A and B are shown apart, each in its own frame.
Chain A
Amino acid sequence: MRAMRPEWLWLPLFAVPLVLHNEVALTVLVFTFILGILAVSFNLIFGYTGQLSMFHAAAFGISAYATHLSMAHLGVSFWIGMVIAVVLVVAISVVVGTICFRFRLKEFYFAIVTLAFSEMARLVILNWGSFTNGSLGINLTAKPMLWLPGGLVPVQGTRMWYYLALVALILTVFVCARVVHSWMGRSFAAIRLNDELADTLGINVFRYKLISFLVGNAGAAFAGALYAFYLSYVEPGYLSIEQSLAIVAMALLGGREPVAGPILGALVLTALPHVINFSAEVRILVYGLILILTILVLPRGIMGLVTKRRHVL
């Protein structure tokens, strides 16, 4: 597994905006990177630990709102707001995860209970009008600020967002890869393959499930803050079931391994609808067909075509 660690594959991506001047293509890539963070962090919970969490979109959306609200009401910068949001999401995840894992909810039951919590979060945001503006959502006018050689500058324009999103994605992949290739990752795999056996072998199943859930949701929170401020708009749809399912689709489409695999899923699902100018109906059709064909034709995802079948541990 360590034989192929293609860190250098990231380098050409830094040169892309210098060569490519097509605004649409760059926008697609920015979306791919941010949604890639979402898919990669989801893959930690689902692909590696085997828990089908439906809470990922909720973590994503709660963080988007929390970042904006702490900026608007506490007067902090984007980065501090994002840290507050990540902490909040992790705290909520501790509660949700503890409930689910203490009661040993598995497979479908885990999915349903996390979905229930996710829906409750969405309903609260939808109906807490004074803070969240209900179903209309909020336009975000603030921009993240960065210290660059020229001083403190707001991140705006596709090119700056491209680099910010790319760095954020690399950071996420790096953290996830470190987790997966550590003793934690081996515990995750043991739990995925047979959690009763893992328990017998002395692995604290509850602890590692919770760690995986927390790290994954923290990644989703990171993505949520970036996504909302890139779009300059946040609405309750961030937390919808459709969003949860789209995340599952990206992860499956990309493939579980390597860690960066789900990014390909994010690329195909965001890029394909943009590249060809479909009408709304055809877009939904293509999306559905991609999902079906992935499962029936490419059960190990796109990366499954490239990489050879390896041992899971």
Chain B
Amino acid sequence: MLQLVVGQLLNGIIIGTLYGIVALGVTLTFGITGIVNFALGAFMAIGAYVGWYLTDGLGITYPLAVPLAVAVTALIGLLADQSLFRFTRNNLINGLIVSIGLISVVQSVILMIWTTTPKNMHYVLPGVLNLDWFIVPKMKGVVFLVLLAVILSTYAALTRTWAGRAAYAFAQAPEAAMLMGVRTRLLQTGVVVYSTALAGLGGALYASLYSLEVSMGSSYILKGVEAAILAGIGSVMGSLVGGIVLGVTEAIGSLFLPQAYRDAYGLVFLVLILLLRPAGLFGGGR
């Protein structure tokens, strides 16, 4: 039993970092542009399909295909920002609807290019890591470490560099930041594109673990938003912790309670947090 619990715990943590990388994008975009980009799920799908195509279709080695897929996703993110999101800054509902429209567009284009035939590449790194009393598939371990590294370095960059401090300043007081010489347009575009790149990375890594379907992003964006709110919007490390808390809640919940309601356990937890601590687990009182 203990082994089962530990196994589920690990699974929850690993899935949780995938939620966390999307949550990080949600939090950054919301903090800087005031919209919730639901299309991050679609960018995750772009990263996954491009990553799959580069590896499986063009035969590029997977460690090289991942950064390429991230670059392609970021490029599409830049395009979307300049043609769409630029016009919905600080307008929550318009941003929401535009991003939802974008999801449909991305999904249909993916379907037109790659159709619905099942795609997976479990072969990238098969095998399991057999530690003393639990077993982890090797690829899951790698995904976990890469995502953890990316989230931690994002945190470091935001706290240690000029651009990072500028972003924090802008989130707190846009006008004051502008007066202090922060190039706000560039900053907003940069954050939107960075968020899409994060989602693309999540997707490209996801592609090595699970088989792909075009609507894969929709459950992840929901979990990402949940994780971001759980932690308190605006908290970078919170989005990682929020993602992990969510992943673990679901994994452990479905161990002791009916599996079919897996998605509900996180939701119940989220509603309770929002009602009892509206600023989130790590948000300051507001």
Q: A245 and B100: CB pair below 8 A? A: yes
Of the listed stretches A68-76, A87-95, A164-172, A285-293, name the one at the interface; the rest are far from the partner chain.
A285-293
Q: Which single member of A107, A113, A288, A291 contacts B274 (CB below 8 Å)?
A: A113
Interface residue? B97 (CB, 8 A): yes
Give B80-129 interface residues, CB cut-off 8 Å to A: 84, 87-88, 92-94, 97-98, 100-105, 107-109, 111-112
Interface positions of A from 118 to 146, Cβ below 8 Å from B: 119-120, 123, 126-127
Q: Is the CB of B263 within 8 A of A119?
A: yes
B residues in contact with A177, CB < 8 Å: none
Q: Quick check: is A25 within 8 A (CB to CB) of the other chain?
A: no
Q: How far is the CA of A68 from the CA of B278 in the complex (A)?
A: 38
| Interface pair B229/A292, CB less than 8 Å apart | no
The stretch of B134-142, B145-153, B265-273 in contact with A is B265-273
- A252 partner residues in chain B, CB cutoff 8 A: 93, 97
Task: Report the minimal beta-carbon distance from B72 to chain A, rounded to whole angstroms.
Answer: 20
Interface majority SS on A: helix, strand, loop or mixed? helix
The 8 Å CB contact of B101, one of A52, A280, A281, A291, is A291
Return the CB mask of A77-88 against B: 1 if under 8 Å, else 0. Answer: 000000000000
Residues of B within 8 A of A52 (CB): 93
Q: Is the CB of A107 within 8 A of B108?
A: no
Q: Tell me how many residues of A have a C-beta within 8 Å of chain B.
A: 37
Chain B: CB-nearest residue to A50? B93
Interchain CB contact under 8 A, A116 and B108 = no
What's the least CB distance linking A101 to chain B, in Å? 12
B278 smallest CB distance to A (angstroms): 7
Complex A-B: 28 CB contacts under 8 Å: A105-B278, A107-B92, A108-B36, A109-B229, A109-B278, A112-B229, A113-B275, A117-B271, A119-B263, A119-B264, A123-B264, A127-B260, A241-B218, A248-B97, A281-B111, A282-B108, A284-B108, A288-B100, A288-B103, A288-B104, A288-B108, A289-B105, A291-B100, A292-B98, A292-B105, A294-B97, A295-B97, A296-B84
Q: Which residues of A contact B (CB under 8 A)?
A: 52, 99, 103, 105, 107-109, 112-113, 116-117, 119-120, 123, 126-127, 241, 245, 248-249, 252, 280-285, 287-292, 294-296, 299
* Apart from A109-B278, A123-B264, A292-B101, 9 more pairs, CB < 8 Å: A52-B93, A112-B274, A117-B271, A119-B267, A127-B258, A284-B105, A287-B104, A288-B107, A292-B84
